[in-house]
Chains A and B, each alone.
Chain A
Amino acid sequence: MSIKKGIEVSIAASIAAKLARVEVIAAYPITPQTHIVEHLSELVANGELEAIYINVESEHSAMSACCGASAAGARTFTSTSAQGLELMHEILFIASGMRLPIVMATVNRALSSPLSIWGDHSDIMAARDTGWIMLFCENGQEVVDSIIMAFKIAEHRNVLLPVMVNLDGFSLSHVIEPIEFPSQKDVDSFLPPYKPLYSLHPDRPVTMGAYGMPEIYTEAKYAQEMALINSKDTIIGVMKEFGDKFGRHYKPVETHNTENTDFAFICLGSTNENIATAIDELKSYGKEAGLIKLRLFRPFPKDELLSALKDKKRIAVIERAMPAGAANGPLYNEIASLIYNNRLDITLENYIVGLGGRDVHPEYFIDIFDKKITFKTDKNYTVIGVRE
């Protein structure tokens, strides 16, 4: 029996980790992730969750402790945001290179400076090449379901990679939403206890994270890359199994109203709900716009994305991160590469919105559709709402 209740999404995320029966949590509090780890700490302290909660002095230590716990064979969870994600940056590569199935809820937040505690995607875009599987969530239900699925994906013998579940700071983490929680019994049958392929145990000594000479490093990284690319099949399989069991169906790339239009937005995260609101309003004026949502960002779901966008004539890529001197925003660059490699004739536009918690209004997307917000091809991208 599942239970539906109105709950803050952060608290819901920690309940999802509890339902997944995490065994070790190592975390350092940072806004806007705080409520997730505070509530997990309470659950452990109250004896409601049988897990070891390691208090650490930094995010670098948090991820290091997670690596140790996962290497010892424990189901391991953590959560962070912004500066915390950057402080654990070097360990993120170690977790993926050592193939440790850690799950992390990343509450996306702007990076300092200027100091900002508010939401955008500059933290995750700076960590996108760390070799983790990355899922993005649009609402609280997706956060809960993704955390449960994330463990199943991460621990699958064909995958064995860490998974980040991304949720937007404040605009998703701190809102109260009606969320359906699966029963412990159903989660247990979906997600059996973690059985590691290798673990640190004195009865069977192994070395993890050893030195890789030039003769072997290329092969080692290629093996890791293949595991990440091939994980997509397992991700699709786990999403299907989850849908069959719990009735909520997910796909790496999801679409909204794309059937009868040659225009589409592409975006990540909770901004997709603002865009969907704009699309409904456009519909009331007799205008049709589509939305292509990337649920899976790494591995980049290029086949699924290609089939979603190949019939379009005009696409607006919406991002919440500055390109930092790049030709375009990070998401645009990958979509442009996909379109070029397949020689598709699609007009691409790149818009940057919602930096450092700036409100994202549905009207922006109506104006983009109506070409009232100007996109000049001599400028690679337009920052919406910047005072010039």
Chain B
Amino acid sequence: MAKPMEQYKWHELNVGCVIDEPGNAREYKTGDWRSQKPVWNDSKCIKCGLCWLYCPDAAIYQIEDGFYRANLDYCKGCGICSKECKPGAIKMVEDIR
């Protein structure tokens, strides 16, 4: 989107609100929906990548040494990564902002 959603006037919208820029959902930062955030214990992490695979928002990325982190602009704090992590390396903690 060329500008933030709340600045659009009705006559500036595409007919039927069609989204003709594929992938523009990334411009909408959903991270402020979060009440908890995932915290990795890298000493338990086996770098299997299940957290990355299961994240419904594609908010988890791999850092240089092979461990994982969440992009907090998009992480909604759902906790699926923590639930799926076999060695129990991800803990959900209260996110006070």
Q: Interface 1/0s, chain A 210-239, versus B by CB < 8 A?
A: 101101100110110011000000000000
Given contacts A99-B16, A220-B10, 9 further A-B contacts (CB under 8 A): A206-B18, A206-B20, A207-B18, A209-B17, A215-B5, A216-B17, A219-B13, A220-B17, A223-B13
A205 part of interface (Cβ distance < 8 Å)? yes
Bound state CA distance, A142 and B95, in angstroms? 65
Chain A residues within an 8 Å CB radius of B17: 209-210, 212, 216, 220, 223
B65 part of interface (Cβ distance < 8 Å)? no
Q: Report yes or no: A205 in contact with B22, Cβ–Cβ below 8 A.
A: yes
Within 8 A of B (CB), among A283-337: none
Bound state CA distance, A210 and B21, in angstroms? 13
Q: Report yes or no: A216 in contact with B8, Cβ–Cβ below 8 A.
A: yes
Q: Interface 1/0s, chain B 1-20, versus A by CB < 8 A?
A: 00001101111011111111
* B contacts with A, residue count (CB < 8 A): 15
Bound state CA distance, A99 and B17, in angstroms? 9
> Which residue numbers of A lie inside 8 Å of B, CB to CB?
97-100, 160, 197-198, 204-210, 212-213, 215-216, 219-220, 222-223, 226-227
Q: Report yes or no: B10 in contact with A208, Cβ–Cβ below 8 A.
A: no
Shortest A81–chain B CB gap in Å is 27
> Which residue numbers of B lie inside 8 Å of A, CB to CB?
5-6, 8-11, 13-20, 22
Q: Report yes or no: A213 in contact with B16, Cβ–Cβ below 8 A.
A: no
Chain A's interface: helix, strand, loop or mixed, by majority? Answer: loop
Bound state CA distance, A360 and B46, in angstroms? 80
Chain A residues within an 8 Å CB radius of B19: 206-208, 210
Q: Report yes or no: A208 in contact with B16, Cβ–Cβ below 8 A.
A: yes
Bound state CA distance, A198 and B5, in angstroms? 21
Bound state CA distance, A216 and B17, in angstroms? 10
Chain B residues within an 8 Å CB radius of A197: 15
Instruction: Pick the 5 closest A-B CB pairs, nearest first.
Output: A99-B16, A207-B19, A219-B10, A222-B10, A215-B6
Q: Report yes or no: B15 in contact with A160, Cβ–Cβ below 8 A.
A: yes
Shortest B8–chain A CB gap in Å is 6
* A198-B15, A222-B10, A223-B11 known; A216 vs B20 contact (CB < 8 Å): no
Bound state CA distance, A197 and B8, in angstroms? 21
Contact sample, A vs B, 11 pairs, CB 8 Å cutoff: A99-B16, A198-B14, A207-B18, A208-B19, A209-B17, A210-B19, A216-B6, A216-B8, A220-B13, A222-B10, A223-B10
Chain A residues within an 8 Å CB radius of B6: 215-216
Bound state CA distance, A220 and B18, in angstroms? 11
Bound state CA distance, A247 and B19, in angstroms? 42
Shortest A57–chain B CB gap in Å is 27
Chain A residues within an 8 Å CB radius of B14: 198
Bound state CA distance, A222 and B13, in angstroms? 10
Q: Report yes or no: B15 in contact with A213, Cβ–Cβ below 8 A.
A: no
Q: Name the residue on B nearest A98 (C-beta).
A: B16
